[in-house]
Amino acid sequence: MIGIFRKRKEVKIIHRYINERVAVFIDGGNMFHATNALKLKINYRRLVEILRKDRWLLRAYFYTGIPSGDLPKEVREQLRRQQGFLNELQNAGIKVKTIPLKKTPEGYIEKGIDILIATDMISLAYKDAYDTAILVSGDSDFIPVVEKVQEIGKRVENASFKKTSSYELRKVCDEFVLLDNIKHRFTTPLIPPKKEEEKSFVQKMKEFLKNIFGVKR
C-alpha cells in the first residue's frame, strides 16, 4: 500500500527526427583534462561511431589550441607530437579546427575555442546542415549556444566524462551520455597494467603442493 505513494522516477522522453542527420562537435581541451585525470587514451573515430549510432553523419569536428611563434625546445617537441595526433584525426575523417594558444607568464592557455565551436554549431543549424548536434564537452559556457540551436529547431545531445561535466549543461540538452559508463568501448589505459612477475619453479611447486595437499614447504 505504501508503494503507491512513492515518488516515481522521472523518465525523459526522447524525440527523434526521421532520417536524422547529426554533426559532432568535440571540445579537445575539455576532453584532454578529463582523460588526463583518468589516465586514458581515446580512440576518437570509435567514439564518433558510438555517438552517431545508426544516424547519418554530416561531419565530426575536433577543436583545439596549438602553440605558435618562437617556441622553446620542449614546446616544439610537444607540438610535433600534437601535430601527429591531429594528422591521425584528419586521416580518420574528423575535421580538425585549431586556434593559436595564448602565451602567459604561467604558460600557454586556450582562449576562443568555445566561440569557434559556438559559431559552427549555430551557423550549421541556420543552414539546416544537421538535425541534431552532439556536443562532446562538459563546459557550462555552452548553455546559451545549446538554447540558441534549440530555438532554431534542432536537437542537442551532450556527451562528457563526469570529471569535467556540468550538471546545468546536461539538464538543458535533449539527451546526455555519461562517457564513464561506456569508456571501455573507446578508450585504452595510458599506463598499461603491470604484468604479473614470472614465478620461480620453487614458488610454483609450493603453491601446487599447498592447493592439492594442503602441505607447506
Predicted pLDDT at 197: 47
The residues with which 66 forms a beta bridge, in sequence order, are 100
Can you tell me the distance from the alpha carbon of 64 to that of 58, in angstroms, rounded to the nearest whole number? 20
| Interaxial angle between packed helices 113-126 and 143-151, expressed in degrees from 0 to 180 and rounded to the nearest 10 | 10
Name the pTM for this structure.
Answer: 0.78
> Exposed, middle or buried, 44 (CB in 10 Å: 0-12/13-18/19+)?
buried
Residues near 108 by beta carbon (within 8 Å), at least 6 away in sequence: 65, 67, 75, 101, 102
> Exposed, middle or buried, 146 (CB in 10 Å: 0-12/13-18/19+)?
buried
Chunked in runs of 10, what are the mean pLDDT values of the chain (217 residues)? 55 68 96 89 96 96 80 65 87 92 63 92 98 97 97 97 94 97 93 56 62 53
Predicted pLDDT at 54: 94
E strand or H helix that includes residue 61: strand 56-66
Predicted pLDDT at 80: 73
C-alpha torsion sign, points 46, 47, 49, 53: positive
Predicted pLDDT at 66: 78
Domains and CATH numbers, the chain: 17-213 (3.40.50.1010)
| Identity at 83, one-letter amino acid code | Q
